[in-house]
Amino acid sequence: MLVRRLRDRLAAVHPAFPGYLLAIAFMAVCGGIFENTYYNYLWDQFQIGEKTRGHLELVREFPGLMNVFLLALLAAIPETRVAAIAAAVTAVAMAGFGIAGDNWIAFLALTLAWGAGSHIIMPINSSLTMEMGGETSKGRRLGQVSAVSVMGSIIGAAIVLVVFASMAAPEAPPDPLAGSRPPVLVQEMWRYDTSFGIAAGFCIVAAWFYWRMRGVGSATKRPRLVFKRQYWLYYVLSVLYGARKQVFITFGRWVLVKIFLTPPPVFAWLWILASLIGIWFNPWIGRVIDRVGERRILVIDSFLLMLVCFGYAISTHLPVSRPLQLAFVLVFFVGDQVLFALQTARTTYMGKIAESKDDLTGSLSMGVTLDHLVAATIPSLGGWIWWRYSYEWLFIGAGGIALLMALFANMVRVPKHVATGEESPRQKAASAE
Are 388 and 288 in a shared domain? yes
**Does residue 4 lie in a domain region?**
no
Longest dimension (CA), the chain: 76
Enclosing domain of residue 64: 16-213
- Return the CATH number at 374: 1.20.1250.20
Q: What's the full length of the chain, in residues?
A: 433
Are 21 and 135 in a shared domain? yes
pLDDT digits over 371-402, tens only? 878 888 899 999 999 999 999 999 999 999 99
Are 41 and 125 in a shared domain? yes
Are 174 and 279 in a shared domain? no
Are 180 and 309 in a shared domain? no
**Using an 8 Å Cβ cutoff, are 297 and 289 in contact?**
yes
Are 242 and 208 in a shared domain? no
The domain boundary residue, chosen from 172, 191, 213: 213
pTM for this one? 0.85
**Does residue 294 lie in a domain region?**
yes
**Does residue 160 lie in a domain region?**
yes
Mean pLDDT, consecutive 10-residue stretches, the chain (433 aa), reads 58 73 95 94 89 90 76 76 93 93 92 90 77 59 79 95 76 49 70 94 96 69 71 90 87 91 92 89 80 89 92 91 91 89 82 77 76 84 92 93 93 69 50 49
Half-sphere exposure of 142 (CA within 13 A, CB side): 14
The domain boundary residue, chosen from 213, 239, 272: 213
Q: How many domains does the chain have?
A: 2
Residue 75, SS3 per DSSP: coil
Q: How far apart are CA 211 and CA 197, in angstroms?
A: 21
**Does residue 218 lie in a domain region?**
no
Are 199 and 234 in a shared domain? no
pLDDT digits over 164-180, tens only? 987 655 554 555 444 44
**Does residue 10 lie in a domain region?**
no
